[in-house]
Amino acid sequence: MATAAEPAWQAICTDKLQKSVTGGRDGAKQWEFFRASIDPNDPTKRIIIADAVFDRMSLQGYDLSRCYIVRTSFLDSNLSNANFRLAIFRSSHADNANIEGAAFRGADMTGDGITLNTDRFSRETDFEVEQERLPDVLSRGLRAAASQARHARRWRNRKSYSLTVRMMMALTGHGYSLRWLAGIGMLIVGLFAVAFGIGGQGALDAILASTGYFLGLNAAFNDGILHALGLVEGLLGMLFFAVLTAILVSMFFD
């Protein structure tokens, strides 16, 4: 990297961030001004943060996108809502850091790039990092979040799916959460069992009829409103298993 060979520039960047972090709100504004003063098209001016310690400090909302971060520590730090998109990490540490709402999309954490063993993240944390760029030391929750984010992107990009299927994908975490899908299946069976019970069926008969229609195994009613409801449930069951098949297939290509 062209910028990595410039110790003076590296020192300027690191010193500016250190002073900003310890400067409160005014410091955060100074960092914004510093970033704004850099020509994003100049490859020799990529921000480098090196040999710095920000343990137990707050970098909440800081923009560190596209930065080269090396031998830097963020242990127990507040990195909530910080922007690390397209950042490159090398030999850094952020164990037990708060990354709620932080963005890491496209970051490079390969190998020992950063240790990120933390469970302090949220649904708003954007952890769409490619599998080959994940670090060796990473909490199971974040590894799962990265996989879910990649699946979400793939489902968004598959324009050939119908609106109905895409709605199902949204309800099931874009094809990742099998627990969500199983819950939806049980809810469908339960709702139609209640409907069959209201229609005069006993509790056990209503459950068996609903399960049968959902699985496409039988037609408990020959005609009438209950038969029509059963056909509707059968269609929902077909959609359910189509989505389940798509999920399982997609998981093999993660």
What is the pLDDT, as a whole number, of residue 2?
A: 41
**Residue pair 97/122 in contact by the 8 Å Cβ criterion:** no
pLDDT at position 4: 44
Confidence bin at 92 (pLDDT 50/70/90): very high
Q: Are 49 and 12 in contact (CB under 8 A)?
A: no
Neighbours of 14 (CB within 10 A): 19
Enter the pTM of the model: 0.62
What pLDDT score was predicted for residue 167? 63
Residue 48 parent element (H or E): strand 48-50
Q: Looking at the predicted structure, is the pLDDT value of residue 46 above 60? A: yes
Position 158 scores a pLDDT of: 61
Q: What percent of the chain has pLDDT over 70?
A: 85
Alpha-carbon span 3 to 44, nearest angstrom? 5
Work out the mean pLDDT of the chain and round it to a whole number. Answer: 86
DSSP letters of 92-161? EE-TT-B-TT-B-TT-B-TBTTEEB------TT-B----GGGSBSSB-HHHHHHHHHHHHHHHHHH-TTS
pLDDT, tens digit (0-9, with 9 covering 90-100), for 169-217 = 565 555 456 777 888 899 999 999 999 889 888 889 889 888 989 998 8
Q: Which residue has the higher pLDDT, 231 or 163?
A: 231
Q: Is the pLDDT of residue 137 over 60?
A: yes
CA–CA distance, 19 with 45 (Å, rounded to integer): 19
pLDDT of the residue at 251: 59
User: What are the structural domains of the chain?
Assistant: 3-156 (2.160.20.80), 163-251 (no CATH)
Q: What's the whole-number mean pLDDT along residues 29-52?
A: 89
Structure tokens at 13: 């960047």
164 and 233 Cβ atoms separated by less than 8 Å? no
Residue range 89-98: mean pLDDT, rounded:
97
Q: What is the pLDDT of residue 174?
A: 52
